[in-house]
Structure 1
Amino acid sequence: MGLHFLRRMDWLGAARSLGYLRLLALLNVAMLVLLVATSRDGVDRNGFLLGSDFISFWTVGRMLGEGANVYDGAAHVAAQRAYFAPENGYTAFFYPPSFLPFCRPLGWLGYFPALATWLVVTGAAHLAAVRAWWRDAGVPAPLWLLFLGFPAVPIVATHGQTAFLVAALLGGGAWLVRSRPVLAGVLLGLATIKPQFGLLLPVALLLTREWRTIGSALVTAMVLAAATTALYGAQVWPDWLAASARAQDAMAEGAVGYAKMVSPFAALRLLGVPTGAAYAVQAVVSLGVAGLLAWAAWNKRWSPGLAALTLAGAPLVTPFVLDYDLVLLAFPLLWLTGQGLRDGFRDWEKLAILLAIAAPAFARPLAMNAGVPVMPLVLALLFAVVWRRARA
């Protein structure tokens, strides 16, 4: 027993894994059904509007239709509370202007029709990207079971967040680099709506000399920025920069809640480490992950392994990442599982897969109630085993 029990995990075979996935899927679906069934007028038992964070995007869509400044914090608060006024709290909006064209159509619908449409469309996009990786990996579990059994999925749904969309763009783009490089660049360029998750992409794409993808991504990002400027005026950019400064202060002060975040920075702040020291450690981790990715990509061509490694490292290199963003891990998890099924699982790989799948279900409660941040360690283990495979 001892470490060998965790290092090899020979007891975790296909049948037992499917059983665990079915149990997780059942719990996830039951939780969502219970949440909706026990809500009143769209407000859950804790006083939160269903799809809690989505009200920020929906409000922005309404404000854009009225020509209002969406980066004016006071105006955004007033517009949001005109629809729903909680006893405390407010869902801020700090996304870059390139996200505004995605928000505008949401304002054409009522809140709940917009929320349902958003989750269906972005969830379908995420599933389409996951399906490509799933088919290549040869994982025997049905796609619907993998989707419903991943605890990060209901977290996205209950928050009405952008994570499905961002994961679809990054996962789909990374997958298409070799087969359809221009389309891959288009998807990656659109992913600049949440730029902190694409920090490693330039490293991997430059070292593998994927010039067509790089060019397509740059053109797409510039066209999106130009279209945004034409639609909403050049002033949105300085307004966003001012809002970003407020976002930086809010994050440092813990306004978001360090227990909800899964970065090394947030973990250290939760443990009481001063802000400056926490940022310094985050910088060391980010540079280390980028260096290991560069090592794996040196003198190589783009491959599914490098794509998986880039996406596995994405949550580690940004200080601002929450548990719902972990749906991005579906892609490296599928690739790693497929490699293990083909060639045999190596030491620690099954443990990394199991923890990365299950941890989103308990990481936030554990951090909030016990002050123990486990997710950065889980992310580091997953990155390490994917890196070992990708280098080979």
Structure 2
Amino acid sequence: MIEALRQGRWATRDRLVPAAFMALAGYLVVLGYLYIYPGLLTAPGGTAVVNDFLSFWVAAREAVGGSPATPYRTEDFAALQAVYIGAGHYFAFFYPPTFLLMLLPLGLLGGLAAYWAFQLAAALAAGWACSRIMRHWHGFLLAAALPTSFNTYFYGQNSLLAAAFLGAGLVMLAEGKAILAGVFIGFMTFKPQLGVLIPFALIAGGYWRTIWAAALTTVLLATLSWLVFGTGTWEAFFDQTAFARTTLNHGLVDLHKMISVYAAAREFGAPIELAYGLQILTALGALVTVWLSWRGGASFPAKAIILVAAGLLATPFALSYDLALLAVALAFLLRCGQSESLPPWNATLALGVVLMAAVTRLAGEVGFPFLGPVLLVITIWIGWRCDAGQNVGKAKA
């Protein structure tokens, strides 16, 4: 299988495609049971899901009902959720009003219907991006069937949507469609912490039209959300930033759920100052790596792999389900494989990354919180060495 991948064949199709379909079938069975059986991931009567998606749906419903600022008012928003999950538990909504604008149609649906509609749309969008990258419909399977995607479905999160925007932006850039690439990257700003290194990559590569298109798209989205929701909603969002910092600094989100160096250091008992210091050093290292790769002569797939992994490594606030973005990196790795440029060990390391990404939360719970950063460093190394086989071939020639 490794040799087939190295030689750029889709021979792995015979084994991996049936495995992917089996994984999807298994996901549907598990998710169907969890969302149908009362009390597991649904509220009494099946009126809503009781994971992170609850905050998306309730926020959308409030926006449709004329109260778009409510999701940013902690006590009011918690009271609305208490109807479904009881008092004492709360799913925060730390996203900008631009994401609330994207969620608006969900406010017209029931809780379960909204969940399935959102996850299906996000999976299809991510699948389209990965298929465009791989130049093969198997990209849909890659995006939907990875274990990291199951984590996204299970927690009701939006990481596949982020993967869709990031993947689409990068593949448009690879195809020379600079303006369209900027539009997709601009949409990704609904989760800005995951794209913190993108501007540096674009500057290093000299993609100025993409930068301007992304900036304009971001401004237009913000303006549209302001016109729809009003000034008060943006003010409430900015007022909530102090609570967001408290959530990160004081462990209101369980640290073992996170994949950052900051969270791992805190899990080992490091004070906040030291943990942030380590995170800053890690982010600087990630930035330098991205800058050098995008400034140099690496192939575009190699640059994309490095950017995806380094972006996840640079932020202190990334969780296990955010590893769904690795679908984009893996799609570019498979695109590399089509040109017979992959060293054979790349496939082995990629498989290791997939398996590790599936268990980062469990690893954190049992005392190994650095698994997330480790697998991201390995992914960066894969990207950095993606052209090694091609370079060897040129040297021999």
After TM superposition, the score normalised by the length of structure 2 is: 0.86
C-alpha distance in structure 1 between counterparts of 2:314 and 2:274, whole Å: 16
1:217 lines up with 2:214 in the alignment: yes
Residue pair 1:35, 1:44 contacting (<8 A) in 2 also: no
**Structure 2 residues not aligned, in runs of 5+:** 392-397
Q: Secondary structure, in 3 states, of the residue corresponding to 1:235?
A: helix
Partner of 1:291: 288
C-alpha distance in structure 2 between counterparts of 1:378 and 1:305, whole Å: 16
1:239 lines up with 2:240 in the alignment: no
Residue pair 1:258, 1:270 contacting (<8 A) in 2 also: yes
C-alpha distance in structure 2 between counterparts of 1:112 and 1:189, whole Å: 29
Partner of 1:366: 363
Give the CA deviation at 1:322: 1.1
C-alpha distance in structure 1 between counterparts of 2:143 and 2:265, whole Å: 31
C-alpha distance in structure 2 between counterparts of 1:125 and 1:108, whole Å: 21
Query: Where do residues 274-353 of structure 1 align in structure 2 (5 Å cutoff)?
Result: 274-298=271-295, 303-340=300-337, 342-346=339-343, 348-353=345-350
C-alpha distance in structure 1 between counterparts of 2:113 and 2:336, whole Å: 41
Query: Where do residues 156-195 of structure 1 align in structure 2 (5 Å cutoff)?
Result: 156-177=152-173, 178-195=175-192
Q: Secondary structure, in 3 states, of the residue corresponding to 2:51?
A: coil
Query: Where do residues 377-392 of structure 1 align in structure 2 (5 Å cutoff)?
Result: 377-389=374-386
Partner of 2:395: none
Q: Secondary structure, in 3 states, of the residue corresponding to 2:176?
A: coil
Residue pair 1:59, 1:107 contacting (<8 A) in 2 also: yes
C-alpha distance in structure 2 between counterparts of 1:145 and 1:125, whole Å: 12
Residue pair 2:119, 2:156 contacting (<8 A) in 1 also: yes
Residue pair 2:178, 2:209 contacting (<8 A) in 1 also: yes
Residue pair 2:349, 2:378 contacting (<8 A) in 1 also: yes
Partner of 2:51: 52
Amino acid at match of 1:176: M
Amino acid at match of 2:324: V
Q: Secondary structure, in 3 states, of the residue corresponding to 2:226?
A: helix
Question: Structure 2 vs 1, CA of residues 234 and 47 (structure 1 numbering), >3 Å: closer, same or farther?
Answer: closer
C-alpha distance in structure 1 between counterparts of 2:42 and 2:108, whole Å: 28
Give the CA deviation at 1:334: 2.3
- Paired residue for 2:263, among 259, 266, 270? 266
Deviating more after overlay: 332-341 vs 42-51: 42-51
How many positions carry a matched residue from both structures? 380
C-alpha distance in structure 2 between counterparts of 1:52 and 1:250, whole Å: 17
Amino acid at match of 1:34: V
Question: Structure 2 vs 1, CA of residues 372 and 187 (structure 1 numbering), >3 Å: closer, same or farther?
Answer: closer
C-alpha distance in structure 1 between counterparts of 2:314 and 2:50, whole Å: 27
C-alpha distance in structure 2 between counterparts of 1:11 and 1:207, whole Å: 34
Residue pair 1:42, 1:50 contacting (<8 A) in 2 also: no
Give the CA deviation at 1:149: 3.6
Question: Structure 2 vs 1, CA of residues 296 and 63 (structure 1 numbering), >3 Å: closer, same or farther?
Answer: same
Deviating more after overlay: 41-50 vs 352-361: 41-50
**For residues 277-321 of structure 1, what are the alpha-carbon distances to aligned partners after superposition, in whole Å with 9 as ceiling and x for unaligned?**
111111111111111111122265993332332122111011111
Give the CA deviation at 1:208: 1.6
1:356 lines up with 2:357 in the alignment: no
C-alpha distance in structure 2 between counterparts of 1:388 and 1:283, whole Å: 25
C-alpha distance in structure 2 between counterparts of 1:231 and 1:172, whole Å: 27
C-alpha distance in structure 2 between counterparts of 1:352 and 1:226, whole Å: 44
Amino acid at match of 2:283: S
Partner of 1:125: 125
Question: Structure 2 vs 1, CA of residues 57 and 319 (structure 1 numbering), >3 Å: closer, same or farther?
Answer: same
C-alpha distance in structure 2 between counterparts of 1:348 and 1:265, whole Å: 30
Partner of 1:95: 95
1:80 lines up with 2:105 in the alignment: no
Partner of 1:376: 373
C-alpha distance in structure 2 between counterparts of 1:130 and 1:74, whole Å: 40
Question: Structure 2 vs 1, CA of residues 366 and 15 (structure 1 numbering), >3 Å: closer, same or farther?
Answer: farther
Question: Structure 2 vs 1, CA of residues 47 and 254 (structure 1 numbering), >3 Å: closer, same or farther?
Answer: farther
Question: Structure 2 vs 1, CA of residues 47 and 76 (structure 1 numbering), >3 Å: closer, same or farther?
Answer: closer
After TM superposition, the score normalised by the length of structure 1 is: 0.87
1:66 lines up with 2:62 in the alignment: no
What is the alpha-carbon root mean square deviation over aligned residues?
2.9
Give the CA deviation at 1:89: 2.3
Query: Where do residues 13-32 of structure 1 align in structure 2 (5 Å cutoff)?
Result: 19=15, 22-23=18-19, 26-27=22-23, 29-32=25-28
- Paired residue for 1:33, among 22, 29, 34? 29
**For residues 21-79 of structure 1, what are the alpha-carbon distances to aligned partners after superposition, in whole Å with 9 as ceiling and x for unaligned?**
75575356425413422555653179896461111011111111233322100111112
**Structure 1 residues not aligned, in runs of 5+:** 1-8
- Paired residue for 2:147, among 144, 151, 155? 151
% identical equivalent positions = 29
Deviating more after overlay: 258-267 vs 142-151: 142-151
Partner of 2:112: 112
Residue pair 1:259, 1:373 contacting (<8 A) in 2 also: no
C-alpha distance in structure 2 between counterparts of 1:11 and 1:342, whole Å: 12
**For residues 135-162 of structure 1, what are the alpha-carbon distances to aligned partners after superposition, in whole Å with 9 as ceiling and x for unaligned?**
2xx7xx9445434441011111122211
C-alpha distance in structure 2 between counterparts of 1:214 and 1:10, whole Å: 39
C-alpha distance in structure 1 between counterparts of 2:35 and 2:198, whole Å: 41
